[in-house]
Amino acid sequence: MQPTGAAPSPRPPSPALFQPADLFDLSLPISKMAAMAMATDDAKRAALRSQLATRTRQQELLGHTAETVNSTLLNAVQQHIHKALSRLGLADVLAFDIGGDVEAGLKVVYVLERGNGEEWRAMGRFLRLAAIYRLTPANGLPLVLSA
């Protein structure tokens, strides 16, 4: 206990309450954003683009830039794609290059999540067989597809 009138002891600065990964809008899960990216309704796709381009008030107050938020969302989409490929047993034969395009990555998520997965597993078996008979590009597997 400090005597009255004494200067308070210096405290170390507090760590940030939220990291950028905690702050992108999870009210629209990645699967729902993927469905919006593939929607035939222009208004839904426009709403998604607006959501991706606009920072939340919380992100603004904490000083996160649009680039930081976009990078965080891009990483989350890439992780979602990797998990889907692993779940389908395709991580060793197929990869997607989405570059820096979140919307393209969401379209990949949409395609990977369609169906029961057996179609993708069959594709994996086909690609492995093609690799055995050297029918794949010289750099081998995984085949890298651009989004």
- What are the boundaries of each domain within the chain? 26-146
Residue 27 has what pLDDT? Answer: 41
- Give the residue from 143, 111, 146 showing the smallest Cα distance to 127: 143
- Classify 143 as helix, strand or coil: strand
Question: What digits encode the pLDDT tens for the residues 123-145?
Answer: 999 999 999 999 988 888 898 98
More confident residue, 36 or 10: 36
Residue 1: pLDDT band with limits 50, 70, 90: low
pLDDT score of 18 more than 60 = no
Whether the model pTM is above 0.75: no
**Tokens 């395609």 correspond to what residue?**
111
Mean pLDDT of the chain: 80
HSE-up (13 A, CA, CB side) for residue 37:
21
- Give the residue from 1, 62, 51 showing the smallest Cα distance to 26: 51
Backbone angles phi, psi at 145, to 5 degrees: -105, 140
Residue 59: pLDDT band with limits 50, 70, 90: low
- Contacts by residues 70-75 (CB-CB < 8 Å, ≥ 24 positions apart): 70/100, 70/102, 71/20, 72/20, 72/21, 72/23, 72/24, 73/24, 73/102, 74/98, 74/100, 74/102, 74/105, 75/21
Question: What digits encode the pLDDT tens for the residues 84-117?
Answer: 999 999 999 999 999 889 899 999 999 998 878 8
More confident residue, 57 or 41: 41
